[in-house]
Amino acid sequence: MNWLSDNVNLLSLIGAAAIIIITGFVAGKYIKQMKTDKSTGELTGDDWDGIGEYKNPLPMGWAIMFLLTTIWAIWYFLAGYPLNAYSQIGEYNEEVQAYNDRFESKWSNADKETLKQMGKGVFFVQCAPCHGITGDGINGKAQDLTAWATEDFIVHTIVNGTKGSNYPLGEMPAGLLDEESAKAVAAYMVEKISKTGQSKNPDLVATGEALWATCSACHGEDGKGMEGSAPDLTTYGHAEFVVEVLNRGKVGVIGNMPAFNDGRLTGIQKQAVGEYILSLTE
């Protein structure tokens, strides 16, 4: 009898047995009383269809409890409830505040791998409905993130232009350079501006540097975007760039991506989802 070793089960059983026994005794007592008792005492004189009422004084304990409860009720109605009612919103605010503080202190120095794992969860909830579970953009319905922010994608951006994130400089026009020159600029950008690693075409870096003037008109000599007039390309290919996209949203050629600036994601979560989607191109 394994389940008897559980305290709660044992106590419940003992309790149940006690209740049955006590019920038996009490019921027995009253049944006997009903058989033998005769009614005596003074009646109040009220008569409800043949049923009368004894003049019994209130039991003292009961009367005191009744009075106390009444006093408490008056206090509760007039002051207790109206003045310091429980607030679900208040409790929510406190809980969330405490949670966010803990979250912040626990993950503020998280490494890339941890962020990536966290970002994966965020991605499935917030981004997958549009970008697809694998991030492929569901047949062109949103940006294909498995091919985004790569060197080839920079070429694609230069040739086709881009728009929709509401920068003061507006759109980046299509056809700034032909495909060959674009490749060179992309090589230069990868190695010298955004510094995401080795270019596929290292021999083109020098050519790209010479052509960078086309871009510096808007993005600045250093690629930093001239104080917010255009995107800061030194962050391109890093999570910071994704955070910027999330803060701004994008009404582009493919479709309309809403901004994530209503507090659903914390800064760390945005960073995390950035790390995750950038890992999709690897």
Partner 1 sequence: MFHWLEKNPFFFAVGVFVVIAYAGIVEILPDFAERARPVEGRKPYTVLQLAGRDVYIKDSCNACHSQLIRPFKSETDRYGMYSLSGEFAYDRPFLWGSKRTGPDLMRVGNYRTTDWHENHMLDPTSIVPGSIMPAYKHMFNNVADIETAYAEAYTVKKVFNVPYDQPDMPKLGTWDEAQKAVLEEAKPIVEAMKSQEVKEAYARGEIKEIVAIIAYLNSLK
Q: Which two tokens stand for residue 3?
A: 């389940």
Measured CA to CA in angstroms, residue 82 lies from 74, 77, 88 at distances of: 12, 7, 15
In the list partner 1, ligand HEC, none, the entry touching 154 (Cβ below 5 to 8 angstroms by class) is ligand HEC
| Binding map of ligand HEC across residues 242-261, x = CB under 6 A, - = no contact | x--xx---x-xxxxxxx-x-
3-state secondary structure of 278: helix
Q: Restricting to residues 87-106, which ones interact with partner 1 according to CB under 8 A?
A: 88-89, 92, 95-96, 99
Cα dihedral 241, 246, 251, 256, rounded to 10, equals 130
If DSSP codes are grouped into helix, strand and coil, which group holds residue 126?
A: helix
107 binds partner 1 (CB under 8 A): no
CA atoms in the 13 A half-sphere facing the CB of 260 = 19
Two structure tokens written together for 53: 């009422």
Using the contact rule CB under 8 A, the part of the chain among 64-72, 147-155, 224-232, 262-270 near partner 1 is 262-270
Work out how close the CB of 84 gets to partner 1 at its nearest, in angstroms, rounded to a whole number: 13
| Residue numbers 152-191 binding ligand HEC by CB under 6 A | 154, 157-158, 162-165, 167, 169-170, 172-173, 176-177, 185, 189
Closest Cα to residue 103, out of 89, 114, 91?
114
- Alpha-helical segments (H) within 108-189: 112-122, 128-131, 151-160, 179-188
End-to-end Cα, the chain, rounded Å: 58
* Residue 82 interacting partner from ligand HEC, partner 1, none (CB closer than 5 to 8 Å by kind): partner 1
The answer to whether 136 and 147 are in contact (CB under 8 A) is no
Closer residue to ligand HEC (CB): 110 or 255: 255
Residues 219-248 that bind partner 1 (CB under 8 A): none
User: Exposed, middle or buried: residue 207 (CB in 10 Å: 0-12, 13-18, 19+)?
Assistant: middle
Q: Which residues bind ligand HEC (CB under 6 A)?
A: 126-127, 129-131, 142-143, 148, 154, 157-158, 162-165, 167, 169-170, 172-173, 176-177, 185, 189, 214-215, 217-219, 230-231, 233, 236, 242, 245-246, 250, 252-258, 260, 273, 277
Q: Which residues bind partner 1 (CB under 8 A)?
A: 77, 81-82, 88-89, 92, 95-96, 99, 125-126, 129-130, 133, 138-139, 141, 255-258, 260, 262-264
